Amino acid sequence: MTASPLAAQIGLRILEMVQTGQAPPGSHLREHAIAKTLQVSRSPVREALRELAQYRIVKHHQHRGCFVAEASCTSVELARKRFVRSENNLIYREIAAQRLDGKLAEAFTEADLRRRFDLSRAEVKRIVDRMAHEGWIERRPGYGWAFVPILTTVTSFNLSYRFRRAIEPAALLEPTFATDPEGFARCRAEQQALLDGKLLATDPIELFRLGSRFHEMLARCSGNLLFFDAVQRVNRLRRLLEYRAMVDTQPFRNEAREHLEILDLVEAGQMKKASKYMERHLDKNRKIKMKILNAARQAAKSTVEPTIGFHF
């Protein structure tokens, strides 16, 4: 039986915790704590833990719950591959690409996706559930689904980075900024594991997930919920173009090092330096990704795009 998309994402998150040392052997994996952290119900968390138990990555003790086991690297990799398969990444990315290329209608049904991509009902349900959870589709009143507004052009992608450059460095300078020790430790462990090659760094979906989590955490620490909301919204809007910009993930391996240096500056209380570093970090990534997206557009011989190009 294949794990649901949400359970697969939770499973991958727990594997990250194991691989980065956030959840060492013997750690108690409490369902309610994981559900609260990831803002999900306990049911998919329970499903993810059951899957992990099959690979002996966690052990279930009656009346005590689940604990991290002494798992081999082979077991961890097999579990990760199973969860990635459950997420249907190839089809998911193809749907994202066709959405960006304007090949999919604004509104659609699950039957439409079944016919177009030759999928089973179960496969379509898993993919649709994942797309809805990640925020780029929403249920239509009555029947079917609709794509939500996203960025679809190079110009709009450029504007999104210019917007981020305006707000994310400013968030670090808010007088209400306060570090989150638990969040900082989690992000530091993730970014260090990427840098050390302990986490998969060849999947654009995974890199986007880890990077957006880092930036959203800093925005939340500002103490100003408007910054946090803005960063979350722009992350949802740029998600699909980020996947396209990171088809080759090699240029983005250095992001983890820069994220760690920003954390170092913030924890040292050097907020002005951290803010300036964030500006440079965003500028550099904007230029790299713009170059990649422009090259892809020219290779595809696409037509001239609108001046702004937000897909609203």
Q: Do domains 5-86 and 89-147 have the same CATH topology?
A: yes
> pLDDT by residue (tens digit) across 22-80?
888 899 999 988 888 877 888 889 998 998 998 889 998 888 889 999 888 778 878 87
Q: Give percent above pLDDT 90 in the chain.
A: 37
**pLDDT value of residue 62:** 81
Phi, psi for residue 67 in degrees, rounded to 5: -135, 150
pTM listed for this prediction: 0.68
For the CA atoms of 26, 31, 32, 34, the dihedral, rounded to the nearest 10 degrees, stands at 70
- Provide mean pLDDT across the span 254-262: 93
Select the more confidently predicted residue: 77 or 147: 147
**pLDDT value of residue 210:** 87
> pLDDT by residue (tens digit) across 201-227?
667 777 888 899 999 999 999 999 999
pLDDT band at 302 (very low <50, low <70, confident <90, very high): very low
Amino acid in the structure at residue 65: G
Query: Is the domain defined by 5-86 classed in CATH 1.10.10.10?
Result: yes
Q: Burial code of 261-285, b = ≥16 C-beta within 10 A, e = fewer? A: ebbebbeeeeeebbbebbbebbeeb
Q: Residue 241 pLDDT more than 70?
A: yes
For the CA atoms of 142, 144, 149, 154, the dihedral, rounded to the nearest 10 degrees, stands at -170
Cα–Cα dist 255/112, whole Å: 38
**pLDDT value of residue 305:** 47
Q: Are 241 and 157 in contact (CB under 8 A)?
A: yes
Domain 89-147 architecture: Orthogonal Bundle (1.10)
- Provide mean pLDDT across the span 269-281: 97
Q: Burial code of 202-234, b = ≥16 C-beta within 10 A, e = fewer? A: ebbbbbbbbbbbbbbbbbbbbebeebbebbbeb
Domains of the chain by residue range: 5-86, 89-147, 154-311
Q: Residue 95 pLDDT more than 80?
A: yes
**pLDDT value of residue 86:** 57
**pLDDT value of residue 122:** 81
pLDDT band at 12 (very low <50, low <70, confident <90, very high): confident
- Provide mean pLDDT across the span 161-182: 96
Q: Residue 87 pLDDT more than 70?
A: no
Query: Is the domain defined by 154-311 classed in CATH 1.10.3720.10?
Result: no
Residues 6 or more apart in contact with residue 3 via CB below 8 angstroms: 11, 47, 48, 51, 82, 83, 86
Mean pLDDT across the chain, nearest whole number? 85
**pLDDT value of residue 140:** 92
pLDDT band at 5 (very low <50, low <70, confident <90, very high): low
**pLDDT value of residue 110:** 93
pLDDT band at 88 (very low <50, low <70, confident <90, very high): low
For the CA atoms of 152, 153, 156, 160, the dihedral, rounded to the nearest 10 degrees, stands at 70
- Strands (E) in 43-174, as ranges, are 58-61, 65-68, 107-108, 137-139, 145-147, 150-151
DSSP structure class, residue 303: P
